[in-house]
Amino acid sequence: MGSYDVLVIGSGPGGYVAAIRAAQLGLKAACVEKERLGGVCLNWGCIPSKALLKSAEYARLAHHLSDYGISVGEPTIDFPKVIARSRKAADRSEKGVRYLFRKYGVEHLQGTGRLVAADRVAVTDAAGGTTEHSAKHVIVATGARARWFPGMDPDHERILTYRDAIVRDALPGSAVILGAGAIGLEFAYFWSAMGCAVTLVEGQSHIAPLEDHEVSEELAKQYKKLGVTCITGAFCERVERTEAGTKVVLKDGRELEAEVTLLALGVRANIEDLGLEEVGVAVERGFIRTDASCRTSVVGVYAIGDVAGPPMLAHKASAEAHVCVERIAGKHIPDVDLDTLPAGTFCQPQIASVGRTEQQLQADGVAYKVGRFPFAANGKNRGTGHTEGFVKVLIDPEYGELLGAHIIGHDATELLADVVMAKSGEIDAETFIHTIHSHPTSGEAVMEAVADALGVSVHI
C-alpha cells in the first residue's frame, strides 16, 4: 500500500499535468492508468489526428501544385503508411509523458482505480490483483468515451467510434459520418482527402453547430467544394450492418449506404465503477459536480477535465489541473475562465473561436458591433494561395471589450492566441489595433477585423 500527497486517477491531459505539477511542487504524487499514458488525447485523439490531417492537407495540395508552378505528376497515397506515421506521433507523445513521470518522480500505478474512501484508492491490475493506496488528495481525471444512442451500437469493424477509425489502416471507399462537430468534421476532411466518398449527417441546422453561424455556413461551402456531402437537420433512426457495409436509416425515412459508418455524436464522461456513489461524490447530468477549485462534494476528492463537465477540451482539462493542484499546494491561481477558453477544429480551412457567438449575444440581448475581414484581402494569404475564409470579431460598443472572435481559414487555430491574450488581459479594441502586427502575416487579418468593428481604416 502506497501513501501519497496526491493520487490522480487517469493520465490524460488533465491527469498527467496534475500529477507532474504536484511533483514539481514537492508533493508525493502517483497516477493510475490502465492503458497508455496520455489518455485519449495523446494516443487516439488530438495528437494522432493532427498527423492524419497534415497528410490530408498535403494530399490535397499535391493535386494543386501546378497552381504554384510545380509539376510532380499524379500523387499516390500509401494509406497504411499515413496511419503508421500518426501512430509514431502518438508513441512519441506517450514516451514523453513517461519521461516526465520519471524526471519528476511521479509513480505510475498500472491498472484501474476505484475510490474506497475519500483518502483511499484501490488499483486493480490486468491480472485481477488489487492493491490499496492512501492519499491526502485524490483527483479524478478519467476523461470521456464515445457516445451513441440505441439502434446504432458500434461493431468496431464497419460501425466505428473515433478510436476504431483513427487506427484503421484500410481506407474505406465510402463513409457516413454521424455528427458534424470537431471529430466528425476532421474525419470528413481526412477521409475525403484520401479518396473516400464522405457523407456528413448533422441533426442541427448547421454543421459545426456550436460555432457562429457565419463560420458554419462558410465551412459548408468549403466542404461542398471539397466533395463532402453535408446533410443537416436530419437525425439518425438506426445503423445496420449489411453484407456490403452499413446502412444508415434517418428519421425522415432516407437511407444512406456506405462501406463504414462513423459515430461522431459526442462523448460521455467515464463516471462508472469509480466508487463515486459509495464515497458520496455528487454527480449531476452525467458529470461529477465541482466548484471553481475542482473540489467535489467530498472533502479531499477533486475532479478535472471531461469527467467534470463541458466544454470537453484537452486544454480545459490541463488548465483545471493547474488550478486544482496549485490550490492543494496552498498557492494562489486564478479560476479557469471559460469565456477566454479557445476552441479549434483542425480541418482545412480550420475553425478557431473564443468568447460568445453573435447568436448568443442576440439571445442575451447584449449590444455589440461586428467587424469582419476576409483572408482574400490579406497580402500574406494572397501570396500563399489560402484566400478562403475570414475573421469575425464582436466588440462591446461602449467599452471596446472583445466579446468574441470567430475565424475560419488556413491554420486559423494559430491566429487565435492574439485575441485570447487580449481578452484575458482585458485589452480593449482601441489598444488592440494600435498593437503593431508584423507584415505580411495572416494575423493582420485579426487586427483588420477589429479595426472594421471600430470603423477605422487600416492599411492591408
Q: Which residues are catalytic, by number?
A: 439
Spatial distance between the Cα atoms of 197 and 416, rounded to a whole number of angstroms: 32
Spatial distance between the Cα atoms of 200 and 223, rounded to a whole number of angstroms: 10
Helix (H) or strand (E) holding 314: helix 314-328
Among residues 221, 37, 38, 9, the alpha carbon closest in space to that of 124 is found at: 9
**Residues forming a β-bridge with 112:** 124
Q: Give Cβ neighbours of residue 389 (< 8 Å, ≥ 6 apart).
A: 218, 222, 349, 374, 375, 407, 408, 409, 410, 412
Residue burial 149-188, b: 16+ Cβ < 10 Å; e: rest: eeebebeeebbbbbbbbbebeebbebbbbbbbbbbbbbbb
Tell me which DSSP letter residue 106 carries.
Answer: P
Grid coordinates given for 153: 451500437
Q: Is residue 440 reached through a cis peptide bond, with omega within 30 degrees of 0 on the bond before it?
A: yes
Q: How far is CA 34 from CA 7, 125, 126, 260, in A?
A: 14, 8, 8, 29
CA-CA-CA-CA dihedral for 405, 410, 414, 419, to nearest 10 = -20
Q: Helices in 128-212 by DSSP H: which ranges?
A: 162-167, 182-194
3-state secondary structure of 439: coil
At residue 57's C-alpha, the angle toward residues 146 and 450, to 5°, is 85
